[in-house]
Amino acid sequence: MTTLTAPPKQAPPPVRPRKSSGSAAKWKRRVPLLPALIFTIVVTQLPFVATLIISTFQWNILKPGERHFVGLSNFSFVFTDERLRTAVLNTVVLTASVVVISVILGLGLAMLLDRRFVGRGLARTLLIAPFLVMPVAAALLWKHAIYNPDYGLLNGTLNAVYRFFGADNGPTVDWISSYPMPAVVVSLVWQWTPFMMLILLAGLQAQPGDVLEAARMDGASALQTFRHITLPHLRQYIELGVLLGTIYVVQTFDAVFTITQGGPGSQTTNLPYEIYLTMFRKYEYGEAAAAGVVVVLGAFVIATFALRTIASLFREETSR
Amino acid sequence: MTHAALAPRGGRFKKLLRGKDDPNSPRLSPLWTFVAWLATLAFFAPVAWMVLTSFHQEADAATNPPTPFAPVTFDQYKLLFSRDITPFLLNSAMASILSTVLVLALAVPAAYALSIKPVEKWTDVMFFFLSTKFLPAIAALLPVYLIVKDAGMLDNVWTLVVLYTAMNLPIAVWMMRSFLAEVPKEILEAAEVDGAGLLTVLWRVVAPVAMPGLAATSLICFIFSWNEFMFAVNLTATQASTAPVFLVGFITNEGLFLARLCAAATLVSLPVLIAGFAAQDKLVRGLSLGAVK
């Protein structure tokens, strides 16, 4: 199989449908694909069309009989609403910090785990555990067992340390109220760092050994080797990690719902949670749908970059 | 191309301790080994704390400073099972397993049509599948909710099965395609020249190469379905609620049972933890849609 950085060869793609095959043969090829394709179109595309339609209606289920077509006015509401602007900003802050921090930590851990040391396999197994814990369970764990001001592990440990050094009591910090956004970010970084580490570790282990050997022979320092050989080699892996991470973290719902419920105020309300509130608390279906459409447009921008990166990985594979 | 996955593995525990066998990779210095282990333990600490607390009595769980060496008890788990966590676990198992089976039934033929006997413009089809993953699920929640409500399918496990299938199908198609693309073309052609029928080719040539991939794909689909929260919490009420919905009851601070919460969190995470530890080498490829080995 190719590594991601294998130079594209000139050979034609190994698989190519025969152009001369008749339409019966073409259909024979298509049949196995159709169930999956039709299922996907029905279950994912139709709801989006419905969202588009609903977004043009004034529709609040608390006011039955007032449902009517309003054109694009829900959209002008979406773009001018203070709460939604806050939610957009929160989403950007949350996603960017989680992805950037977990990539950096993941890179550091991957560099360490790329080398041999006592118990490396066990360390790797323990490190991926945070990613495997159910997200809602993880969010509750952080909220109650770690951040809780009275009996959480964080304050409890601080307290124990203070007492060890002879002080009476440690500080009682209400982490979630005092630092709501960092509290959510830390719990998500904890979950996503193992993901980044796994992808970057795979990248490091696909690194050709002879190039590193040559660099060592030429007397390159560890830092030089990292900057000029390892980092360029890892670039595609980092891009992949950032893009996949962004796609998933943008959609974060579990952590916000569980840890802060968007609060205090709307300090941690991200777009998915704001749309959820509009739908199931305010019952403003039209507004929720319009916000949903805007989110899809935003996701489309990210996806364009993502698809381009993945397409380049993909081309290298098929042109091997 | 690597067939390491097919090789028999011996000394599993030894391998676990040593990690990937590569005598050429440089050793970590003692100082950095210490740093690596410190970081590992820091990341693992919340998981360890969750499991430890789940084996304590409530009085020993919520103490300040913490008391990690309190007596061990299974009471919290007994309480969970006597206070009906079972139906939630059964719903989760049903939704996850059924949707995984459905995903494989749809994805394997599709991946076959996209790799071994590719349809025209197969890359476009691949990217169509992938693009559906970029649509935030929240944008589909409202129409899905309205349709499901009108169809009288709220609070029904089958609703979750259908949604989880749609959620995982693109990932499964991508993963399975990358595994099927590893089937050597020469062998396929040779088998056809020898007059082997489609079923023989599938069974004798394709299946042996694709089986580990099939296992990895099922694992990823199972994990994502088991952990899904947004649809589960908004589309089920009493009959079809899954394990994450059971946990929602622990959100408020009032009257919190910390030890029981930890037991519940451990219990619902256990299937994924076991599956993930057992198949950690496959996890990467699955999580990166088969783009990274």
A54 in any annotated domain: no
A45 within some domain: no
Provide, as residue numbers in chain B, all residues whose Cβ is less than 8 Å from the Cβ of A14.
185
Tell if the CB–CB gap between B113 and A33 is shorter than 8 Å. yes
Every domain range in chain B assigned CATH 1.10.3720.10: 85-291
- State yes or no: pLDDT of A63 exceeds 90: no
List the single residue in B127, B147, B258 with the smallest CB-CB distance to A144: B258
Q: Summarize pLDDT for B150-208 with one digit per residue, the tens.
A: 889 899 999 999 999 999 999 899 889 988 888 888 888 888 788 877 888 888 888 88
Question: Does pLDDT of A7 surpass 80?
Answer: no
Predicted pLDDT of residue B20: 52
Q: How far is A121 from chain B (nearest CA, A)?
A: 4
Picking from B122, B141, B142 by the largest number of A CB atoms within 10 A of its own CB, the best residue to mutate is: B142
A237, pLDDT greater than 80 = yes
- Search chain A and give the residue with CA nearest B61: A151
Nearest residue, CB atoms, A54 vs list B62, B143, B248: B143
Q: Which of B107, B136, B230 sits opposite A299 (nearest CB)?
A: B136
C-alpha distance across the termini of chain B, in Å: 10
The class (CATH top level) of B85-291 is mainly alpha
Sorting pLDDT into bands at 50, 70 and 90, what band is B9? very low
**Chain B residues within an 8 Å CB radius of A31:** 113
Domain that holds residue A277: 82-283
Residues of B in contact with A159 (CB under 8 A): 64-65
Q: Which residue of A has its CA nearest to B124?
A: A311
Rounded to a whole number, what is the distance in Å from the CA of A192 to chain B's nearest CA?
A: 11
Chain A residues close to B115, C-beta within 8 Å: 15
Distance between CA atoms of residues A204 and A110, nearest Å? 8
Q: Where are the alpha helices (DSSP H) in chain A?
A: 23-30, 34-40, 46-54, 73-80, 82-113, 120-132, 135-140, 153-164, 175-178, 180-205, 209-217, 222-225, 231-250, 254-255, 271-280, 285-318
pLDDT digits (tens, 9 = 90+) for A148-170: 888 888 888 888 888 888 777 77
- Where does the pLDDT of residue B19 fall: very low under 50, low under 70, confident under 90, or very high at 90 and above? low
Single pTM value for the model: 0.85
Contact B284 A201 (CB under 8 A): yes
Residue among B35, B37, B64, B241 with most chain A CBs within 10 A, to mutate: B64
| pLDDT tens digits, one per residue of A276-291 | 998 888 888 888 889 8
Nearest CA to A141 out of B70, B275, B48, B231 is that of B48
Q: Give pLDDT, residue A180.
A: 94
pLDDT band at A209 (very low <50, low <70, confident <90, very high): confident
The pair of structure tokens assigned to B79 is: 């309480």
Number of domains composing chain A: 1
| A69-85 per-position pLDDT tens digit | 877 888 888 888 888 88
Q: Does A194 reside within a domain?
A: yes
Alpha-carbon distance of B272 to B221, in angstroms, equals 11
Percent residues over pLDDT 90 in chain B: 41
Helix (H, G, I), strand (E, B) or coil at B178: helix
For residue B256, give the nearest of A276, A188, A147 by alpha carbon: A147
Average pLDDT over residues B123-145: 86
Does B105 or A314 have the greater pLDDT score?
B105
User: For residue B18, what pLDDT band results from cuts at 50, 70 and 90?
Assistant: low
Cα B260 from chain centre: 24
Cβ-based neighbours of B110, under 8 Å, separated by 6 or more? A32, A33, A35, A36, A37, B173, B176
CB A93 within 8 A of CB B4: no
Taking residues B257-280, report their average pLDDT.
91
| Cα–Cα distance for residue pair A118/B16, rounded to 1 Å | 11
pLDDT at position A10, please?
A: 45
Short-list A257, A96, A98, CA closest to A188:
A98
Q: What pLDDT, on a 0 to 100 scale, did the predictor assign at position A21?
A: 56
Domain assignment present for residue A34? The answer is no
* Nearest residue on chain B to A203, alpha-carbon basis: B292
Chain A residue numbers with beta carbons less than 8 Å from the beta carbon of B117 are 17, 29
| pLDDT at residue A12, as a whole number | 47
- Read off the CATH number of the domain in which A276 is found: 1.10.3720.10
Q: What mean pLDDT comes out for the span B126-133?
A: 86
